[in-house]
Amino acid sequence: MKNRLKVLRAERDWTQARLASELEVSRQTVNAIEKEKFDPSLPLAFKISRLFEMPIEEIFSE
Amino acid sequence: MSKLTDAIFCKNLPVRDLKNANRVNLWAIAWAASLAIISFISRYDWYSATLPIALAFVFSSGIGVGMFLAYKRFLKELDELERKIQLDALASSVGVTLVVFGGYSILDKAGLAPELQASSLIVLMALTYMAGIIVGRIRYQ
């Protein structure tokens, strides 16, 4: 699954550690999602969507 | 090399997960110690009575249940990538142990290998589980 997490994070000038802290996950989890090695669970995807104030489908795509 | 040490020590996990992991480790050490103590005292004659054996069984099993519950809580509250790594490692551990046990049983029944010890299976499970965790953490770095 593709995602725009890295771009959205860069737009806000956030580090991976800052994003991980906001999402209450490890930095490795953020890194693995950005590198598209790991697909987040639905609750985490909703959390990301709420944090960036965007619909899920604008962040994640097939 | 730093990738390997990061994978072993996993220093970037949230504090909550590290605390839960430490709880599991303490329970596991207590469980292993209980088995070692019981193995040691089983050499004495008085241990052959029913009461000490029952007490030893309840003591070790109780610690084992505590370890299991601590591990269950650890998995439930764990960071979701680390949970996937842990579950993949558990699957590898069970799979490898089953295959090795099946293969060894064939050799054992044919008289080509010495009788299999239960402790060997526990060691095999633990080693494949640890290897699975390290491989998983390196894969997702």
Phi, psi angles (nearest 5°) of residue A4: -110, 25
Per-residue model confidence (pLDDT) at position B10: 66
Same-domain pairing of B25 and B89: no
ipTM: 0.88
Same-domain pairing of B117 and B57: no
Q: Please report residues of A whose CB lies closer than 8 A to that of B141.
A: 28, 31
Same-domain pairing of B17 and B41: yes
Whole-structure pTM over 0.95, yes or no? no
- CB B14 to CB A25 under 8 A? yes
Per-residue model confidence (pLDDT) at position A37: 94
Who among A24, A32, A44 is closest to B140 (CB)? A32
**Mean pLDDT (10-residue bins), chain B, 141 residues:** 68 82 94 92 84 92 97 94 95 96 92 87 94 93 83
Give residue B120's domain range.
79-141
Same-domain pairing of B92 and B38: no
Shortest Cα–Cα distance, A57 to chain B (Å): 21
Round to whole Å and give the CA distance between A7 and B59. Answer: 55
CA A22 to centroid of chain Cα atoms? 10
Question: Which residues of chain A carry a pLDDT beneath 70?
Answer: none
DSSP B58-112: HHHHHHHHHHHHHHHHHHHHS-HHHHHHHHHHHHHHHHHHHHHHHHHHHHHHTTS
Phi, psi angles (nearest 5°) of residue A2: -85, 155
> Which residues does A contribute to its contact with B (CB < 8 Å)?
24-29, 31-32, 37-38, 40-41, 44
